[in-house]
Amino acid sequence: MALLELLHILVLVYWLGGDLGAFVASRLVADSARAPAGRVAAATILMHVDMAPRMALIFAFPTGFALGVQQGWLPADPAWIAPAFVLAGVWAAAAWMVHLKAGPDGLAKRIDMAIRIAALTGFAGAGAAGLAGLIALPLFIAGKLLVLALAVFAGLMVRRVLAPFGAAFGRIAAGQGDSEAEAIVATSLSKARFWVFVIWAAVLGAAALGVLQPV
């Protein structure tokens, strides 16, 4: 039990800490006054640091699920704990393959996206059902599921708003940047920061629910 609690706390620590590091690095990436080489270095740091919150998101559910079952908050068979961690491991492996650009072309990205959409749907549906009394869930567990769904959704929105970033920043990195590329980079990162703030609010909300535990 103590180990599960520690792991669940570390999810929060690495999620917010990693996001803060990525946030700071994004400011350097968007700084047009810096040399392209420095901005590329900042972008590389951003991508590596960003893996911490990505892993935290993935393992937030299995650690929380295991705690909920062990504490008797969730009416589930403890036998489901191991499959929850296995699924998280598959998701984590896919996320790392996407990050490292390893494996069959596009397969890891499709797996990662499919699990994210399934997680968003499952968390939101279970949380809403819990609040409506359709399934037996403590209020704080239902709330945590909803804010976790919000975090997953915000992560998907970050990907969406950053879609134009890659090509534009590639031009800047190659020394072929212009005002259009700079505008795309600045706008994409600005929009992404909004959704990062949403993620921070969701994570802090989940932490508050876990501490206060309103029934």
Domain count, the chain: 1
Angle between helices 51-71 and 81-100 (to 10 degrees): 180
79-89: pLDDT as tens digits:
999 999 999 99
Closest CA to 182 of 27, 32, 33, 42: 32
124-156: pLDDT as tens digits:
999 999 999 999 899 999 999 999 999 999 999
DSSP 80: G
Report the distance separating Cα 61 and Cα 10, nearest Å: 13
* 102: confidence class by pLDDT, cuts 50, 70, 90: confident
Checking if the pLDDT of 165 tops 90, the result is yes
108-129: pLDDT as tens digits:
999 999 999 999 999 999 999 9
Chain CA centroid to CA 195, Å? 11
Compare 170 and 213 and report the one with higher pLDDT. 170
What pLDDT, on the 0 to 100 scale, is given for residue 215? 63
Q: To which residue do tokens 């991508």 refer? A: 47
Q: Record the pTM.
A: 0.91
Domain extent for 20: 2-212
What pLDDT, on the 0 to 100 scale, is given for residue 15? 92
52-66: pLDDT as tens digits:
999 999 999 999 999
* 105: confidence class by pLDDT, cuts 50, 70, 90: low
15-32: pLDDT as tens digits:
989 999 999 999 999 999
Report the distance separating Cα 91 and Cα 102, nearest Å: 14
**Ordered DSSP codes for 154-206:** HHHHHHHHTTTHHHHHHHHHTT---HHHHHHHHHHHHHHHHHHHHHHHHHHHH
List the helix and strand counts (H, then E) for the chain: 8, 0
Closest CA to 8 of 63, 86, 74: 63
Q: To which residue do tokens 């499919």 refer? A: 114
